[in-house]
């Protein structure tokens, strides 16, 4: 049973992310997050999502392995952490919502399958893929050369990272020297952590101070640390940073970079176990969604139109291998 304390904590987290308003008629309330003073419709963060759907395409569904078609469900791994607008809990503190779930739902629709979402920690997303528990992961996974050894990818969004700092910081991040000696929070086991660690090493090699890297369990913890001055910045997915900057009005983006590092545009992809026979169906489904316009509708709904891809690519060049 959900306690009053749990409900209050959930609402407090949403308040920290932006302005929560409720409107509607009768018993059907629509809860929205939008920047203070914005007049148009905000982002629906309530449990009644009215998700965009599309029809099954038999030719694309036919690309699936027979066992998956007969099962009738697509078993999907998603992040259990609260990362708006990627994947997070609605105002009921229970319903999973976000752009990743919306796109995964559309892919499932196209394949004629019912999506079954499994929220787990980041590391367990890959454990689930390795064991064959999940048919795919839709969780802001960047294509990397190392990951391509074990997984197949069908891209569906550009991957950009951003540095976030307290509003009025006067700080701009263009390269490693700009983070020298700074206290910066980052998610453990992520590509942004790899980039930040590499930048710290570059600084130390050049005789500058390294980066004081901090880790927290939840995105809201990063924001509280920023406001209290315990950290100078946060390096996270650009969608998460852009959402928070726009909705809360207390921070600013001070630098934006490709999630694949210098010289290569990172790509976010539906991730499946290597040689599972599923990736071609995912890519075809994503291409269909791009063509019929539902893909663009979902990205626009979550404010991520700038991260659209023209087509899905299977196993494109990814973040380079970590140098030993």
Whole-number pLDDT of residue 259: 86
Closest Cα to residue 151, out of 5, 275, 304, 242?
A: 275
Torsion angles phi and psi, residue 72, rounded to 5: 85, 0
* Strand-pair partners of 157: 268
Question: Does residue 231 surpass a pLDDT of 50?
Answer: yes
Q: Is the dihedral of CA 303, 306, 308, 314 positive or negative?
A: negative
pLDDT tens, residue by residue, 78-131: 998 878 899 999 999 999 999 999 999 999 999 999 999 999 999 999 999 999
Give the start-end residues of each E strand in 7-83: 19-25, 28-34, 43-44, 73-79
Better pLDDT: 6 or 246 = 246
Would you say 89 and 218 are in contact if contact means Cβ atoms under 8 Å apart?
A: no
Whole-number pLDDT of residue 324: 56
Whole-number pLDDT of residue 189: 84
Percent of the chain with pLDDT over 90: 71
pLDDT tens, residue by residue, 279-293: 999 999 999 999 999
Q: What is the band of 303 on the pLDDT scale with cuts at 50, 70, 90?
A: confident
* Mean pLDDT score, 3-21: 38
* Mean pLDDT score, 263-273: 95
**Strand, coil or helix: what is 175?**
coil
Whole-number pLDDT of residue 155: 98
Domains of the chain and CATH, by start: 58-159+264-314 (3.40.190.10), 161-258 (3.40.190.10)
* Mean pLDDT score, 144-159: 96
Question: Tokens for 206?
Answer: 């050049």
Better pLDDT: 301 or 22 = 301
Whole-number pLDDT of residue 260: 83
Whole-number pLDDT of residue 263: 83
Whole-number pLDDT of residue 323: 67
Whole-number pLDDT of residue 35: 52
Question: Does residue 12 surpass a pLDDT of 50?
Answer: no
Residue 171's CB is within 10 A of a number of other CB atoms, namely 16
Q: What is the band of 14 on the pLDDT scale with cuts at 50, 70, 90?
A: very low
Better pLDDT: 238 or 323 = 238
Answer whether 0.85 is exceeded by the pTM.
no
């Amino acid at each position: 049973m959900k306690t009053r304390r749990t409900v209050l904590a959930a609402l407090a987290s949403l308040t920290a992310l932006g302005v929560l308003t409720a409107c509607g008629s009768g018993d059907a309330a629509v809860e929205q997050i939008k920047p203070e003073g914005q007049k148009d419709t905000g982002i629906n963060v309530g449990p009644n999502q009215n998700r965009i759907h599309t029809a099954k395409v038999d030719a694309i569904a036919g690309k699936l392995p027979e066992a998956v078609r007969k099962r009738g469900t697509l078993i999907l791994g998603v992040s259990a952490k609260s990362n708006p607008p990627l994947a997070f809990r609605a105002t009921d503190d229970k319903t999973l919502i976000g752009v990743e779930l919306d796109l995964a739902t559309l892919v499932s629709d196209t394949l004629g399958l019912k999506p079954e979402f499994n929220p787990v920690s980041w590391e367990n997303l890959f454990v689930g893929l390795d064991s064959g528990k999940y048919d795919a992961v839709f969780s802001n996974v960047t294509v990397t050369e190392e990951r391509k050894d074990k997984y197949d990818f069908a891209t569906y969004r550009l991957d950009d990272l951003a540095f976030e700092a307290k509003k009025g910081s006067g700080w701009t991040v263009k390269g490693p020297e700009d983070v020298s000696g700074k206290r910066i929070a980052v998610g453990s086991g992520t590509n942004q952590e790899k980039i930040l660690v590499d930048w710290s090493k570059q600084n130390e090699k050049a005789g500058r101070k390294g980066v004081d890297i901090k880790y927290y369990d939840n995105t809201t913890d990063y924001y509280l640390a920023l406001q209290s001055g315990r950290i100078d910045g946060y390096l996270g997915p650009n969608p998460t940073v852009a959402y928070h900057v726009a909705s809360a009005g207390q921070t600013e983006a001070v630098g934006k970079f490709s999630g694949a590092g210098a010289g290569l545009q990172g790509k976010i992809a539906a991730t499946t176990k290597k040689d599972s026979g599923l990736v071609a169906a995912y890519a075809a489904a994503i291409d269909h969604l791009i063509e019929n316009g539902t893909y663009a509708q979902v990205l626009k709904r979550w404010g991520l139109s700038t991260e659209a891809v023209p087509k899905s690519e299977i196993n494109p060049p990814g973040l380079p291998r970590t140098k030993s």
